[in-house]
Structure 1
C-alpha cells in the first residue's frame, strides 16, 4: 500500500484530540524494518507523550504507540537478523497505532509460531520492563515475597506472573474488589485494597518476617510512602512509575533504620529511550530477556498476557479505558 491508516498527533494536545488519518509510506533507512502491524498496546504514558510532557518529544506530526506485533514487510539491505514475512513483536520509539510502522531492527523480536501476535505485542515493553526490573535490579529470589501495586493493570498483571515464575510469592494491591479478584485469578497469593492508611498493618499480618522483601511500584504517591512501612528490614523498593500523579520523596532516615534500598528502573534506557540512545549496545541483553519471556509463555510456564481488545476505530474507548484505570491487563488495538 502507498499509504495506510493510523492515529496522528499533529500538535501537542489532549489524547482525545488525536485523529485517524491516511499516512504516506516513508522509505527505509539503514538498520530499519517495515512491519505490517496487527496489534498495538496502549500504555498509560500516552497522555504525556501526545501532550509534549514526556521525556522524549517526537517530531510533529507523529503516530503514537510504542509496542506492536505483526509481520515484516521489508528490511533494509544491512539488516540480516530479520527477514520479510517473519512474525515479530517490537518496542518502538513511536508509530504503533497504525497499519504499518518503520522501526530500528535492534528492538524487533521474532515471535515463535506457537504464540499469537496479540499476546506477543504485550511482551517486549510491558513484560520486558517487569522481567528486567526483577532480575537485573531487584535480584528477586525464590521464596521471597513481593508487594505489587496496581496489580490488575498491564504492568501489575505482568509483575504478578513474572514474580510467580521466579518462585516468589505475591501480595497484590488494587482499588476495587473486581480488580483484586482479577489479581487473585492471575496468581497473587493475597490481594489487598490500595489504601495507604491500612496497608502496612495488613501486609505485616501476612508476613512473619515483618514485611515484604520487594515492592514493585508503578503508582508512586501515597502508596510509595506506605510501601516504606510495608518493607521488611533489608527490603528493596522498585520505583517504576508514578501513575498516581505524585512523585514521592524518600525520607532517608527510614532507609537507614530499616536498611532499605530504593531502586529506580527505567527500561527505556535499554531500548533507546534514554538521554542517549544505547539500544544497539544493549540489544543483545534485551533480546535475551524477550526471548526468555516468549519461551516461558509458549512453554506454558507463564500464562499469556491478559488482553482487552479494541478495533482501531474504537481507539477513543481503548485509550479512555487505560487512562481511567478501568483496564484489567493490557489494552490492545487491533488493526484493520
Structure 2
C-alpha cells in the first residue's frame, strides 16, 4: 500500500480519508484483524467514521502475527516483560515507515535532530534485544552527527563529565532515558543544565518503587536543573510516538490520534475531559494494525492534547508505557 499521503495529512478531513483507506486495506489483508471485525459483525462498507472502526485489543500481539502484508518482516520488535511472562511481538515489514515516522515527528516537535547531541540513558533496554526504542535512539544518535552522542549504560560519572563539557558550548542536548536511570543519576549528581531536554520514556522495570509522574518529574527537574521534563508515549506495537513537553500533556503527530473508550462499553467513546481506555490510531502502522485498543487509561483535553493517567488493573507493566498511578 502506498503510504506517502499518510505523512502529508494536514486536516481532520485528510485524517479521516486516510484512516478509512487504511482500515479497508487492513480489513482485506490482515487475517487477524478481519477475523476480529467479523466477530463484531462489522461490515466494512458501513464504516464511515472513526468511531465505527474496530480497535484490535493490544493483547493480540502476544499470541498472533498481526500483519497486513505477506512481505517477510525486516525486524521483530518485542516488548519487555518479567521473567516467564508472554511478550508482544511486532513484525515490521518496512523499517523505512518507522524511521520516517519518528524522524518526521521529532522534527515537527523539536526541530532537526542534527542540531542536538543525543544521549540515551537506557540501560534496561540495552540489556535485551528487540527494542523499538533502542532502534530509534540508535538512529537518532547516528543522525545527530555529534561526536559526543551515544548510549550510556551505568556510566554516570562519565555522563556527568560529558554534560559539564557540553555546558561550556551552545550545544543543544537531548537526554532520553528510562525513569529509574534518570533518577539514579540525579541521586548522585545535582546539575543546572542549559539548552537541555530531559525526556523520560517511563518505567521503573522493577528496579524501584513506582511513583506518580508528578513526583518523578519534580525530582528530575530539581536534579537536572530544568523547568520541565519531557515524555515520550509509544509502545512496541506502534510505529509512532506522541510527545509531551511538560506536565504529562501529550501531542500526537498528524498521522496519529488518541480516542478514549468507555471502560464498561468499549464500543462507546467518551467526551473530552472524561477518563477511559486509550485507543490509538497509528496510520504509520500500515503493514500491521493501525487501530489498537491499549491497556492504558487516559483522557483527552479540550485542545486535543491527551494525558495518560494509569493502566487497567491486572494489566502488564510493559516497555515504553508511562508511570503507573
Q: Same fold (TM over 0.5)?
A: no
Structure showing the higher strand proportion among its residues: 1
Greater RCO, CA 8 A, separation 6+:
2
